Amino acid sequence: MSKIIAIANQKGGVGKTTTSVNLGAGLATVGKRVLLIDIDPQGNTTSGVGINKADVPNCIYDVLINEVHPKEAIMQTEIDGLDIIPATIQLAGAEIELVPTISREVRLKKSLQQVRHLYDYILIDCPPSLGILTINSLTAADSVLIPIQCEYYALEGLSQLLNTVRLVQKHLNTSLQIEGVLLTMFDARTNLGIQVIEEVKKYFQQKVYKTVIPRNVRLSEAPSHGQSIITYDPRSKGAEVYLELAKEVISYE
């Protein structure tokens, strides 16, 4: 059985894209068939796996708006078992273009149903908003993975996200679950990071992953080389923790 996981948090810079690329790479490395869906108009997951946006024949925009078959938008990456449906800046128009369309919230769900049998995991990298693209993602997903940056105000805005999750559960996708909460960019040298972990655990309890992602400079360098951390620097702490996360995610299958 395949699992579709939306990686969502309407805050920018919390590690959604880093987690999509590197959890995806980690899962593929341990033998899972993985499809990344880049549904953020910034297209950072797309460039993060080494795809030049000028070479993209069909992107997620074409799937959502032009009813291109998702198979025709799938591209392979350097990593065996890791595919992607890329995003280009074209997608920026989709928020507005989807508004007057029929079944606008279920477009991604319908498309992914046509390819989900080909994969073990489909990871959707959401944009930093709670607009129609994130709603499509939560509607298509079996579960949502929420990255939280170990920072001051870490929990700020989370009630809006959880409220959106509840609305989607009520009206569009009754079986949507919380997959897990991932603490990112942890800095062991500060008390703040430890306090945030305590606070998030109090709030989400057993939903918090045991794996905590530390700040690691190699993780921030890898995207500019168009590589996941696992290909860019397999011996780095970043590679180690994202592999560990992949195994933890699998253990909850």
Chain residues binding Mg ion by CB under 5 A are 16-17, 44
- The whole-angstrom separation of Cα 95 and Cα 140 is 16
Query: Whose Cβ is closer to ligand ADP: residue 73's or residue 148's?
Result: 148
46 binds, among Mg ion, ligand ADP, none (CB under 5 to 8 A by kind): none
Query: Whose Cβ is closer to Mg ion: residue 17's or residue 137's?
Result: 17
What does the DSSP 8-state code read for residue 186?
Answer: B
Closest contact distance (angstroms) between CB of 137 and Mg ion is: 13
75-76 and 82-85 as β-strands: parallel, antiparallel, unpaired? antiparallel
Binding region for ligand ADP (CB under 6 A) out of 7-15, 69-77, 130-138, 226-234: 7-15
- The whole-angstrom separation of Cα 170 and Cα 168 is 5
Q: Considering the rule CB under 6 A, would residue 8 count as an interface residue with ligand ADP?
A: no
- The whole-angstrom separation of Cα 114 and Cα 148 is 31
Strand partners, 181: 146, 208
Positions in 32-71 near ligand ADP (CB under 6 A): 44
Provide the b/e sequence for 97-136 (b: ≥16 CB within 10 Å): ebeeeeebbbbbbbbbeebbeebbbbbbbbbbbbbbbbbb
Closest contact distance (angstroms) between CB of 125 and ligand ADP is: 7
According to CB under 6 A, which one of 53, 65, 92, 128 is a site residue for ligand ADP? 128
Quick one: tokens of 61?
């925009």
Positions in 177-196 near ligand ADP (CB under 6 A): 184-185
Q: Considering the rule CB under 6 A, would residue 215 count as an interface residue with ligand ADP?
A: yes
Q: Return residues touching ligand ADP (CB under 6 A).
A: 12-18, 44, 128, 184-185, 213, 215-216, 219-220, 223
